Chain A
Amino acid sequence: MSEIVQSEPFVMNIGPQHPSTHGVFRVKATVDGERVVDAEMVLGYLHRSMEKLAEERTYTQNIPFTDRTDYLSSMSNNLGYCLAVEKLAGIEVPPRGQAIRVIMAELQRLASHCMGAGAFANDTGAWQTPIMWFMREREKILDIFEMTSGARLTCNYMRIGGVAFDLPDDFEEHVRALIGPLRETIADGEGLLSGNEIFLARARNVAVIPQELAVNASLSGPMLRGSGVAWDIRKADPYCGYEQYDFDIPIGYQGDAYDRFIVRLEEMRQSLRIVEQALEALPGGPHSTEVPLALRPPAGEAYARIESPRGELGYYLVSDEGPSPYRFHIRPPSLINLSVLKEMTVGGSIADAIVALGSIDIVVGEIDR
Chain B
Amino acid sequence: MPTLVTDHWYDFRDLSNLSRVILEGIDKVAPYELAYIVAPIIGFVAAFVIFVLPSQLFVGVYGERRIIGRMQARKGPNRVGPFGLLQPVADALKLLQKEALTPTAADKTLMWAAPVFFVAPAVLLFAVIPFGPRMVFADVPAGLIFFIAVSGLPVLAAFIAGWSSNNKYSLFGAMRIVAMSISYEVPLVLVLLCVVVFTNTMSLPGIVEFQVDSNLWLIFMQPLAFVVYFIAVSAELNRTPTDIAEAESEIVAGYLTEYSGMKWGLFYGMDIGYALAAAAFASTIFLGGWSMWGLEQWVPPWLLFIAKTHLFYFVFIWTRGTLPRLRIDQLMGFAWKFLLPLAVFNLFLVSLERLWWNESDLGGGIVFIIMAINIPASAIAVYLWARFLGYKPERIPTRPRLVREAGGYVPVEDPAAGGQ
Are chains A and B touching directly in their complex (CB below 8 angstroms)? yes
Q: Does B172 contact A (CB under 8 A)?
A: yes
Chain A contact-residue range equals 35 or more
B73 x A228 contact (CB < 8 A): no
Task: Name the distance in Å between B171's Cβ and chain A's nearest Cβ.
Answer: 9
Binds B, one of A56-64, A145-153, A198-206, A279-287: A198-206
Give A124 to B248 CA distance when docked, in angstroms: 10
A136 x B73 contact (CB < 8 A): yes
Give the contacting residue for A250; candidates B327, B329, B396, B401; CB below 8 A.
B401
Give A235 to B408 CA distance when docked, in angstroms: 12
Q: Which of A116-162 contact B (CB under 8 A)?
A: 121-129, 132-133, 136
Q: Does B367 contact A (CB under 8 A)?
A: no
A349 x B327 contact (CB < 8 A): yes
**Minimum-distance CB pairs A-B, first 4:** A125-B325, A235-B406, A194-B398, A132-B72
- Contact sample, A vs B, 8 pairs, CB 8 Å cutoff: A12-B169, A125-B240, A127-B325, A248-B402, A250-B401, A251-B410, A255-B412, A262-B400
Q: Does B247 contact A (CB under 8 A)?
A: yes
Q: Which residues of B contact A248 (CB under 8 A)?
A: 402-404
Q: Which residues of B contact A259 (CB under 8 A)?
A: 400
Q: Which residues of B contact A125 (CB under 8 A)?
A: 240-241, 243, 247, 249, 323-326
Q: Does B77 contact A (CB under 8 A)?
A: no
How many residue pairs link A and B with beta carbons under 8 A? The number is: 159
Q: Does B36 contact A (CB under 8 A)?
A: no
B73 x A232 contact (CB < 8 A): no
Q: Does B71 contact A (CB under 8 A)?
A: yes
Q: Which residues of B contact A352 (CB under 8 A)?
A: 327
Chain B interface mostly: loop
Q: Which residues of A contact B326 (CB under 8 A)?
A: 125, 198, 201-202
Give A20 to B232 CA distance when docked, in angstroms: 27
Give A123 to B325 CA distance when docked, in angstroms: 9
Task: Name the distance in Å between A261's Cβ and chain B's nearest Cβ.
Answer: 10
Q: Which of A196-218 contact B (CB under 8 A)?
A: 196, 198-202, 204, 210-211, 215
Q: Does A354 contact B (CB under 8 A)?
A: yes
Interface residue tally for chain B (C-beta within 8 Å): 50
7 more A-B residue pairs beyond the given contacts A129-B71, A202-B325, A249-B403, with a C-beta to C-beta distance below 8 A: A18-B252, A125-B247, A127-B248, A195-B398, A198-B323, A254-B412, A354-B249
Q: Does A4 contact B (CB under 8 A)?
A: no
A195 x B401 contact (CB < 8 A): no
A253 x B397 contact (CB < 8 A): yes
Interface hub of B172, B400, B409, B415 (most chain A Cβ within 10 A): B400
B398 x A190 contact (CB < 8 A): yes
Give the contacting residue for B407; candidates A129, A133, A199, A231; CB below 8 A.
A231
Q: Which residues of B contact A263 (CB under 8 A)?
A: 400
Q: Which residue of B lies closest to A235 (CB)?
A: B406
Q: Does A10 contact B (CB under 8 A)?
A: yes
